[in-house]
Structure 1
Amino acid sequence: MLGVREFRAMWTAELLSIAGDQLARVALSVLVFQRTASAFLTGLTYALTFVPALVGGILLSSLGDRYPRRDVMVVADLVRAVLVGFMAVPGVPLWPLCTLVAVVTLLNGPFKAAQHALLPDVLSGSKYTVGMAIRNITNQLAQLLGFAGGGALVSAINPSVGLALNAATFLLSAVVLRRGVGHRPAAIQRAASSGRMPFLASTTAGARVVWRDPALRVLLALCWLAGFYITPEALAAPYADSLETGALGVGLIMASDPLGSVIGGIVFGRWVPEHQQVRVIGVLGILAGVPLVFCALQPGLVTSMALFAIAGALATPYTIQGTASYTRKLPDAQRAQGSGLLSSGLITIQGLGALAAGVFADLVGPAHAIALAGLTGAIVAVPIAVGWRRAKRSAIEESR
């Protein structure tokens, strides 16, 4: 897929953004803690690198349908480069800094929506699913290396320099997209609509399309199962503490799921035909929770890592194929808005899942909280799998 020029440009731009984002998260955490010595304010600033994406995904995703998608991505990158550049100025007061962080995160919503909506135009047919798998694998690796490398880099340089480097990655991403991706008219223009839908109406158009289509609703719910399966990552520190493995254990536990995700993405994408992938994604949604249930036995570090890796290996294939099937099924004129609903909702669900995991961990301990999340996720996935089977059957009958 990297032989496709436009996909290669989008892939390169995404890696630049991920590397810069991870570096910025580490730099912000260090910068805020250096200034305030407050764990709460440090955590609040870190949360601001995720939470506003929901608002951006809901309110601004329709920009990717109303305007050329490449241009939406380029403009979002340029604006973020300027805002992060202001954040890098030494001595910026804390609350303006937090505001800038929130706005930068807000712009991630329309960028991601336009990106996901543009990919099916760049990669047709089965190439799209393969491209999604490549993105998932490289993104997992980039996040894994980004946190480790970001920590080492920020410890060697001033955090403000780290933020300046993040601004540079946004600028480079914009240049790569502008030069490497061809111009396409806005989706609304391609749909030959009589006129542009009012902005407020367009912000809910994608949600209405999803709500009216049973298959899209099921696929959305399938992808949002990540709210249960993020628990090991959210509880890595207390879980490692319960195993008495220290900081090394935290890093190994957090690395287990991405490692399993890479393996699962490679195996599933390389050796399982796409028509089989579509059939089994509901079942994989159930099975992904099963390894986590065994944490109730309070296994050691190595066994726990294996369980988390297996869970990641099972979750990644249904996430990749579920997202691909969902995006393909969206009408082109509402694809960005529908994609924004999926991606921004996913971030929010993961945040709520992490919050709930922390609450239950305080009540029953981290091992039992992870087991409970896995069991609950598997149970919730059963009606989703049944719904997906019915939706496929209905689609077959309608095509006859």
Structure 2
Amino acid sequence: MTERIPGEASAEPENGTSGSLIRHGEFRTLWVAFAQSVLGDQLARVALSLLVFERTESAGWTAATYALTTLPALLSGVLLSGLADRFPRRTVMIGCDLVRAALVGLMALPGTPLPLLAGLLVLAQLAEAPFGASKGALMPAVLGERLYERGQRVMMITYQAGQLIGFGAGGVLVVWLGSHLSLGLNALTFLISAVLIRLGVKARPVDTSADARPKRLHTQVGRAASLIWSDPRLRSLVALGWLAGFIVLPEGLAAPFAEEAGGGAASVGLLLAAHPAGMVLGAAFLGRPGIGAERRRRLLGPLAVGANLPLVVYWAGPGVGVALLVLLVSGVCSAYQITAGATFVLLTPADQRGQALGLARSGLTAMQGIGVAAGGLAAELTDSSARTIGGAGVVGTLCAVLVAVSWSRARGRSGGTIPLSA
């Protein structure tokens, strides 16, 4: 890759501290906006589940509503992520936040009929993909290439920590505040995010450094797909990300596995929290000053294998304690996803980052959904959640080995290093 982000490259050495990132005004604004939105989203997911269950007393409807908090991103990732390349990215982020604030605010009104509630939820979630694509494409311009991966690491740790807090305190807060007030607080977090981004992030024009921007959606999507497919490095990085389709299965089967292993209801929360906790530890370890960016890229393949291989232990029918250790180790290795994602963005031409990132994230969402759905079906057929997860670990490990070889060859063709800038 030969382009350099114009005028934005940071002279700060890569091995600075995370505190130096927080002192960076624009990044601090994006981080605060993201952190409070994550907490609001976790609160809203619990509130929606409880609200729907209270009205319907149906586990099926409750699960379907929870699925609506993630599935629309699959569609909008393909159709709407290109907005991040057509319009100024700060403008897209502010617009998405304001749309979500209005829609979730309507959902918070008492007495909203369930069909209308579901429709508002779908519309609100459609705005997530263009927001995420814009933020991901904007971050290299905010931090420069040297600090970008470290910034992504801080964002990931924040997200995982938000999930851990949500698992531990979300239910208690929703019971105390009530479902409608909890949804109202989530709407407020989107409004706060929009204000913070408007005041704290510099306006940047649309990137026109490459070919004239395509005007039609199918042309824009086709160009991004062709870009990914034609570059073996981008193909391998996308495949490394999509391996999460295997790794997510223990989360989807946490409740039936806990029952199968003789654990109580409290063990479900621990099983759900173990993998995010491992990712936080892994991110901190890989972010140490002694581990440079090129070394992290060399470790992508081995870590991808390491994220899947521990799941094979489930085949032996472990207890909850052993499963927690397995998930913790898998989570530590899964922190490779930060480097894979950051490298993908930096290898993508600046004017196509939004759409390419949207396609990659949509595929990731699809793979996770397919993985959980296929795992649920397999668990029904085999009557064993543990063996289903263990089987996914075997298949995932084999796929990870193949992708690791592909990534190693792609790096070899580029001379053993990834030239991110001139």
Decide whether the 8 Å contact of 2:411 with 2:417 is kept in 1: no
Q: Which letter maps to 2:167?
A: F
Alignment of 1:43-54 (within 5 A): 43-54=63-74
Instruction: Work out the CA distance in 1 between the residues paired with 2:299 and 2:418.
Output: 21
2:13 is matched with: none
Could you tell me the percent identity over the aligned residues? 43
User: Which residue in 1 is equivalent to 2:170?
Assistant: 150
Does the 8 Å contact 2:238/2:360 carry over to 1? yes
Alignment of 1:54-93 (within 5 A): 54-93=74-113
Instruction: Give 1:290 shift.
Output: 1.2
Aligned-pair Cα RMSD in Å = 1.6
Q: Determine the structure 2 residue equivalent to 1:384.
A: 403
Tell me what 1:253 maps to.
271
Q: How far off is 1:200 after superposition?
A: 3.8
Q: C-alpha deviations, 1:359-386, integer Å up to 9, x for none?
A: 1222331111111111111101112111
Aligned pair in 2 of structure 1 residues 35, 274: CA closer, same or farther (>3 Å)?
same
Match of 1:309 among 304, 328, 338: 328
- Going from structure 1 to structure 2, the CA distance change for 1:116 and 1:398 (only over 3 Å counts) comes to closer
Structure with the larger helix share: 1
Q: Cα offset for 1:196? A: 5.2
The answer to whether residue 131 in structure 2 is matched with residue 111 in structure 1 is yes
Distance 1:79 1:136 in 2: 24
Q: Residue type of the partner of 2:308? A: G
- 1:163-184: CA deviations, max 9, x gaps? 1111000000111111111000
Residues 194-273 of structure 1 mapped to structure 2, 5 A cutoff: 194=212, 197-270=215-288, 271-273=290-292
Write out aligned runs for 1:326-341 (5 A).
326-341=344-359
Aligned counterparts of 1:179 and 1:282: Cα–Cα separation in 2: 41
Secondary structure of 1:289's aligned partner? helix
When residues 103 and 399 of structure 1 are mapped into structure 2, their CA distance, relative to the original with a 3 A threshold, is closer
Partner Cα separation in structure 2 for residue 215 and residue 108 of structure 1: 27
Matched, 1:125 2:145: yes
Spell out structure 1 runs of 4+ moving beyond 6 A: 397-400
TM-score (structure 1 length as normaliser): 0.96
TM-score by length of 2: 0.91
What is the distance in 2 between the residues matched to 1:125 and 1:36? Answer: 50
Q: Output one character per residue of 1:175-203: Cα deviation in whole Å (capped at 9) or x when no partner.
A: 1111111000012xx32654653344223
Per the TM alignment, residue 17 of structure 1 is displaced from its structure 2 partner at its CA by 1.7
Deviation at 1:136, TM superposition (A): 1.1
Write the letter of the residue equivalent to 1:59. L
Q: Can you give the 5+ residue segments of structure 2 that lack an aligned partner in the other structure?
A: 1-20
Q: How many residues align?
A: 397
Shift of 1:125: 2.8
Deviations 1:140-177 (A, max 9, x none): 01011123322111111221111111100000011111
Determine the structure 1 residue equivalent to 2:375. Answer: 357
Contact in 2 for aligned 1:20/1:169 (Cα 8 Å) = yes
The residue that corresponds to 2:35 in the other structure is 15
Corresponding position of 1:167: 187
- What's the secondary structure of 1:61's corresponding residue? coil
Secondary structure in 2 aligned to 1:288?
helix
Three-state SS of the structure 2 residue aligned to 1:309 is helix
Matches of 2:89 and 2:74, distance apart in 1: 19
2:201 matched to 1:184? no
1:72-112 Cα distance to aligned partner (Å, 9 max, x none)? 01100000000001111111111111011111111101011
- Residues 78 and 170 in structure 1, CA contact (< 8 A), matched pair in contact too: yes
